[in-house]
Chain A
Amino acid sequence: MTDASLNTAAQPAANQGPYDAGFGDYFALLKPRVMSLVVFTAAVGLLAAPGSLHWVEAVCAILFIAIGAGASGALNMWWDADIDAVMKRTAKRPIPSGRVEPQDALVVGCALSGLSVMFMALATNWLAAGLLAFTIFFYAVVYSMWLKRSTPQNIVIGGAAGAFPPMIGWVAVTGSISIEACLMFALIFMWTPPHFWALALFMRSDYDDAGVPMLTVTHGRKATRAHILAYTVLLAVLAVAAGFTQIGGPLYLAVAVICNVIFLRDAVRIWRRTEEDAEADNYKVEKSFFKFSLLYLFVHFGAILFEAVLPVANWM
């Protein structure tokens, strides 16, 4: 019995011949949940940027960033099909569950990558298109094919791929990279490690079984807890500093201070806990930290959006 055959939810029966994938199966290749986050952060980057873009161009820019992100997701699923089949969290994805052929995922990924980059250039500018192409390359090749299986810092460096969308949105409007675009990039880049390491702490068997060198496996759980705290401190500094730039404002600053105090408090609690403490309450603090990290990013970018659309005061 193979690992894939253990997943019975959407498993095609062996005696029915090749499974004819539906539209939803192909759409699932694009990682819609990740795409929704990409759409949101790209839209914030685009709306916060000084200058203007015709609304049709703006819609096209966000759509092509989303398609590019989806394409890199499909390429990631194609490459990681073997480890996806082993991990509980990913075993029901289209390829390990047998609903989509790996070669189909590769074709979809490559075709959508080319299409998104080309039309991004036509809709906005070549720098934005180049950044989108680099993001796809970074996620599919640098992260998925190279770093993910070779270094425990995979999450840190790979997080850059998820951090590019707001910068691409910004560049689509301005045609150049500024400090504000870099700060939005840094916000997601520094947020990614604590977010995923908290997940790795309470989803321990998944990464262990797949042989992915997560920090929890290579350096131990105590070191992971210390890393979470270190990155959270750096993240807090960056998040609050962004409040004093063009994308910030009084509302953003208030939100950043409150969120980062809570995030830092929980990171300290994670750092001080032992494995025995965590197992005793079924990783309650780690799970709570992970859930809050989702809200953390949404609230920060929501505040940047609010400051851009409805500036409370021209205080800078």
Chain B
Amino acid sequence: MSFSPDSDMHKRRKGRNMGVGLCLAAFIGLLFVLTTVKIRQTGPVEGFDHVPRATALPATETQSATGE
């Protein structure tokens, strides 16, 4: 089975698709890196570790009475 060589139109279309694809891939990569940089600039991010953090809890009556 033989295939006829690509016409100019097919070559242009292929080039356009490749170009758009590469641009999109580069754009996604750039946004990923930019997002990483922006997140790092905000300082350390604390995640919930399933244990209540004492300093983040509201003060109780006992704590208020003892002045703790």
Residues of A with Cβ closer than 8 Å to B? 16, 20-27, 54, 56-57, 59-60, 63, 119, 122-123
Contact = CB atoms under 8 A, between A and B. Distances in A.
A92 B20 CA distance: 23
A23 B19 contact: yes
A32 to B, nearest CB: 13
Contacts of B41: 54
A56 B34 contact: yes
Contacts of B25: none
B37 A20 contact: no
Contact of A20 (B12, B19, B30): B12
A25 B8 CA distance: 14
Contact of A57 (B13, B20, B31, B37): B37
Contacts of A60: 30, 34
B32 to A, nearest CB: 10
B34 A23 contact: no
B16 A56 contact: no
29 contacts: A16-B9, A20-B9, A20-B12, A20-B13, A20-B16, A21-B12, A21-B16, A22-B11, A22-B12, A22-B15, A22-B16, A22-B19, A23-B15, A23-B16, A23-B18, A24-B15, A24-B19, A25-B12, A26-B19, A27-B19, A54-B41, A56-B33, A56-B34, A56-B37, A57-B37, A59-B30, A60-B34, A63-B30, A123-B34
B68 to A, nearest CB: 43
A22 B17 CA distance: 9
Nearest to A59: B30
Nearest to A23: B19
A57 B41 CA distance: 11
A16 B10 CA distance: 13
A14 B21 CA distance: 30
A122 B41 CA distance: 13
Contacts of A25: 12
Contacts of B34: 56-57, 60, 122-123
B30 A23 contact: no
Nearest to A67: B27
Contacts of B11: 22
Contacts of A24: 15, 19
Contact of B37 (A16, A22, A23, A54): A54
A86 B16 CA distance: 28
Nearest to A22: B12
Contacts of B31: 119
Contacts of A63: 30
Interface in B1-59: 9, 11-13, 15-16, 18-20, 30-31, 33-34, 37, 41
Contacts of B20: 23
A24 B13 CA distance: 11
State the 5 A-B residue pairs at the shortest beta-carbon distance, nearest first.
A23-B19, A22-B12, A23-B16, A56-B37, A20-B9
Contacts of B13: 20, 22
A63 B26 CA distance: 12
A25 B37 CA distance: 34
Contacts of B15: 22-24
A105 B18 CA distance: 19
Given A22-B15, A22-B19, 12 more contacts: A20-B12, A20-B13, A21-B16, A22-B11, A22-B12, A22-B16, A23-B15, A23-B16, A23-B19, A26-B16, A57-B34, A122-B34
